[in-house]
Amino acid sequence: MKHKRQNRLVFVPLGGSNEIGMNLNLYGFGPKGREKWIMVDFGVTFGNAETPGVEVIYPDPTFIEERKADLLAIILTHAHEDHMGAVAPLWSRLKAPVYATPFTAYLVRDRLKEAGILGEVELHEIGLSSRFSLGPFDLELVTLTHSIPEPNGLVIRTDIGTILHTGDWKIDPEPLVGKPTDAKTLLQLGDEGVLAMVCDSTNVFTIGMAGSEAGVRKNLIELVGKQTGRVAIASFASNVARMQSAVEAAEANGRTVCLVGRSMHRMMGAARHIGLFANAKAFIDEEDAASLPKSNVLYLCTGSQGEPRAALSRIAEGSHRHVKFSSGDTVLFSSRVIPGNEKSIFALQNALAGQGVNIITEKDHHIHVSGHPCRDELRQMYAWARPKIAIPVHGERRHLIEHGKLARKLQVPHGFVPKNGDMTELSETGAELVDEVYAARLFRDGNIIAPEGAGAMRERKYLSFGGMLLLTFAVDKRTRLSAEPVARLFGLPDPYDNDFDQVLDELEGLARSTWMKLSSTQKQDLDAAETEVFRKIKRHTRTIWGKTPHIEIVILGSE
């Protein structure tokens, strides 16, 4: 008699654990090796100095792609790029139905249309607080507050136990956009019993509460009222509550709003889709705004992080077609400095200051609050949900470890601090690491999506460090030089301060003498000859520069 294989419940992050951003979380239920899966969020992160030429980075979905026949759905908690930005570019690898609330669905639909696959994707627009079933999963959305409309926690009920996946959240008693946190449902969920809570860790080191948007709105209205020149408010386009506060600040002070930046227009479209801004005064386009008196216009701009192609950077460098700032104008940075963006932000602010523009940041006035929970909010969430297992996600390693310590202090019986690729089995006895699966990154390099270990990126990083030397010459059928060696240098300094003539002569002379000393047999084998010339040149470059550049030796032979 065959024994029925026992079901198990597993959690697998492929992105968003040990990093902030690029979230991809998997839940599997069923017999080992035959689980049915759901994916919660599918986001991106962005390139930096470590990834030259790469603007966007995706989680590599290979593990779940190999199981896509058992992938029931992609469920999006909210519309931030680090939670939904990979859907359009990578959906064709998975071809699973997508579930999202109206605001998020609007933005996903827009991206799918851009990608030319809108008609292919089974996109389900579901209401807030929806409850629905997919295979062995009984799913329910819980309304939370965050820095974007319609943030949802996801309750995942199975025969083994219930998981609360929080997504991004905070506790805002006056959220301005949307309803407050649904504390009643969270408390009832805790009474029902929560096996595990998979929870945001971003602000675990910050004491107290994140703060309310209501206070930010009050201060923006007051600050805008004190300015006499043009005013620009730079914020994350996805922070619709902040957009609404900017609009109210403008209207309260006799200013007309002008949206600047594609993302602002995109987010405004999504906001209107769910009924926001219905009573706002008409906005003005960039050309008409330029003709208004300085004291009657407020620009709402993208680019608060110093992104080079965003609206505010183009304004600062004077390349924007219609928007110009001058002495006496003011830019309010209603956002935080994301770690890693400091140089670009300060460069932007310095460029603006150099034009006589006044700079106001969150350090000067209370014009920004975080969208993530601080320690007191985490304590409250644990008091509501009372999970048996704490699984911190959405944080760098130090955030996750600290979150795990906090959960233990709050008397959570079990915990597990995951890394991307850790497969954790969840049960009444706790969380057990049962496997480590493939988890990597994909780089968007122009129009090409390539694995992070691809040779092009390694070479580009090496070139950025060491420069490049290209040396070519040609030989005839008798292995005599038919074209003298020619050296070219890229990204290397001149060691002799004589316009490179001396160092090029040295390298070309060394290549020629090395060739002439080769035996006839060596000269017949051009690959072997290139290797020998490479060896000599490499040794000499270390003598000249103290490091080895990328070296390419090309010997052309006659047919």
Walk along the chain (559 residues) in steps of 10 and give the mean pLDDT of each run.
73 96 97 97 86 86 98 98 97 98 97 96 98 98 97 98 98 92 98 98 96 94 96 94 95 97 94 92 93 96 91 94 95 89 93 97 95 97 98 97 98 98 97 97 88 74 83 90 92 86 93 92 90 94 91 86
Q: What is the pTM of this model?
A: 0.87
For the purposes of burial, counting CB atoms within 10 Å of the CB of 500, is it exposed (0-12), middle (13-18) or buried (19 or more)? middle
The hierarchical CATH code for the domain 7-208+370-451 is 3.60.15.10
| CA–CA gap between residue 350 and residue 360 (Å, rounded) | 12
Residue 442 is predicted with a pLDDT of 94
Q: Please report, to the nearest 10 degrees, the dihedral formed by the alpha carbons of residues 512, 516, 517, 522 taken in order.
A: 110
Do the bridges between strand 231-234 and strand 330-333 make them parallel or antiparallel, or are there none, so unpaired?
A: parallel
| CA–CA gap between residue 310 and residue 326 (Å, rounded) | 19
- CATH 3.10.20.580 residue window(s) in the chain: 467-557
E strand intervals along 166-291: 196-200, 231-234, 256-260
Residue 62 is predicted with a pLDDT of 97
Residue 3 is predicted with a pLDDT of 44
- CATH 3.60.15.10 residue window(s) in the chain: 7-208+370-451
| CA–CA gap between residue 513 and residue 305 (Å, rounded) | 54
| CA–CA gap between residue 366 and residue 215 (Å, rounded) | 8
The hierarchical CATH code for the domain 467-557 is 3.10.20.580
Residue closest to 516 by CA, chosen among 529, 531, 534, 535: 529
Residue closest to 99 by CA, chosen among 181, 40, 26: 40
- CATH 3.40.50.10710 residue window(s) in the chain: 213-360
Residue 280 is predicted with a pLDDT of 87
E strand intervals along 194-353: 196-200, 231-234, 256-260, 297-301, 330-333
Q: At which residue do the structure tokens 């001149």 appear?
A: 494
Spatial contact of 130 and 138, defined as CB atoms under 8 Å apart: no
Please list the alpha-helical segments (H only) found in 367-420.
375-385, 397-409
Which helix or strand (DSSP H or E) is residue 64 part of? helix 62-65
For the purposes of burial, counting CB atoms within 10 Å of the CB of 279, is it exposed (0-12), middle (13-18) or buried (19 or more)? exposed
User: Torsions phi, psi of 217, nearest 5?
Assistant: -60, -45
Residue 497 is predicted with a pLDDT of 83
How many other CB atoms are found less than 10 A from the CB of residue 413? 13
| CA–CA gap between residue 240 and residue 551 (Å, rounded) | 51
Q: At which residue do the structure tokens 């600047």 appear?
A: 260
Joined tokens for residue 329: 């104008």
Residue closest to 551 by CA, chosen among 496, 507, 497, 494: 507
Joined tokens for residue 389: 């297992």
> 213-360: which CATH topology?
Rossmann fold (3.40.50)
Q: At which residue do the structure tokens 């064709």 appear?
A: 92
User: Torsions phi, psi of 262, nearest 5?
Assistant: -60, -40
Q: Is 387 left (phi over 0), alpha (psi -120 to 50) or beta?
A: beta
Residue 455 is predicted with a pLDDT of 63
Residue 2 is predicted with a pLDDT of 44
